[in-house]
Amino acid sequence: MKRALIAIATGLLVATLVPIASNAADPAPRQTTASRCESGDAPSVEVVLLVDQSSSLKTNDLEGIRRAVEQVGNRLLIPVQNGLDVKFGVAKFGETASTVRELSPVKKGESFEELGALLSDENSLEGFTDYLKGLEEAIGLFDSGDPQACKVLLWFTDGMFDLPPKDFDKQTDREREAESDTLISAVCQGDRSIARRIRSKGIVT
């Protein structure tokens, strides 16, 4: 039952939550938070939603954000009704990044319509898309949670990749490409990359 509730809570993990066969004679492996998500052994679930708020978003993207926020929140109500400890946090990013909802318990009967409306307001959009700032903000929300929890990071973005460079109008294509390569490296490569930090914290994304 608990594994089923975690599957409902995280949504994207449903396909991976399959029975795990083990041999009693085998030594028990070191269990990470990611494996706890899969096994259903985590004492709680923590979900952080990272939402793109850059000006490249179209009207249908904003409507998608509104629906996504409400659907994620409403899905998390199901395991809460069945007694599972579920926490939910939300961060947004564009040129800057900020926390919209601290990682906090989902309450029975809680409504997410206001949160969805807030994050789909076209007047709040910013010019560029800085994924690094967004990811830093989202990962930071997990710091206040339970190290033993099943941790899930969900994204909503249109996939546009652009930064607010200095003297943007004067930059050459080569300079823009170099700046993009620097960001990609910070996110994906190296010992201090965002990707490595996500793995080290046991965050499923």
Query: What mean pLDDT comes out for the span 87-102?
Result: 93
Q: Is the pLDDT of residue 11 over 50?
A: no
- What pLDDT is attached to residue 3? 47
Q: Binning pLDDT at 50, 70 and 90, where does residue 179 land?
A: low
Query: What mean pLDDT comes out for the span 13-19?
Result: 29
Q: Over the stretch 150-163, which tens digit does the pLDDT of each residue have?
A: 999 998 887 776 66
Tell me how crowded residue 90 is: count the other CB atoms within 10 A of its CB: 24
pTM of the model as a whole: 0.73
- What pLDDT is attached to residue 14? 32
Q: Is the pLDDT of residue 141 over 50?
A: yes
Q: What angle do CA 92, 140, 182 make, to 5 degrees?
A: 75
- What pLDDT is attached to residue 155? 85
- What pLDDT is attached to residue 59? 74
Burial of residue 194 (number of CB atoms within 10 Å: 0-12, 13-18, 19+): buried
